[in-house]
Amino acid sequence: MTLKERRESLNLTQVQLAEIVGTSPGRISNWESGCGMTNKNALAMASALHCRLEDIIGEISWREEQS
């Protein structure tokens, strides 16, 4: 199941998910398209989407954490 499918299965908009995760709707869109996500954001997404981190790993590319 893709990130978008998981979000939609919970009846969440990108705006709502962004508020839960603490980011912008644009970033949610980027992540749903497979663009880079930090480990911290991936953990927040897994929690918000009620799934394991392993369930979303294949959907995203990783980038280094920014200090």
pLDDT for the residue numbered 40? 87
Bridge partner residues of 15 (DSSP): none
Which of 24, 23, 42, 22 is CA-nearest to residue 34?
Answer: 42
| Residue 42 CB contacts under 8 Å (≥ 6 apart), including other chains | 53, 56, 57, 60, 62
Using CA atoms, how far apart are residues 12 and 66, in angstroms rounded to an integer? 28
pLDDT at 67: 47
pLDDT value at residue 37: 83
In the chain the domains, ranked by start, together with CATH numbers, are 3-57 (1.10.260.40)
Which one-letter DSSP state was computed for residue 62?
B
pLDDT at 36: 79
Per-residue pLDDT of the chain (67 residues; tens, 9 = 90+): 889 999 999 999 999 999 999 999 999 999 988 887 888 888 999 999 999 888 877 666 555 545 4
Q: Which phi and psi angles does 37 have, rounded to 5°?
A: -140, 140
This prediction's pTM: 0.81
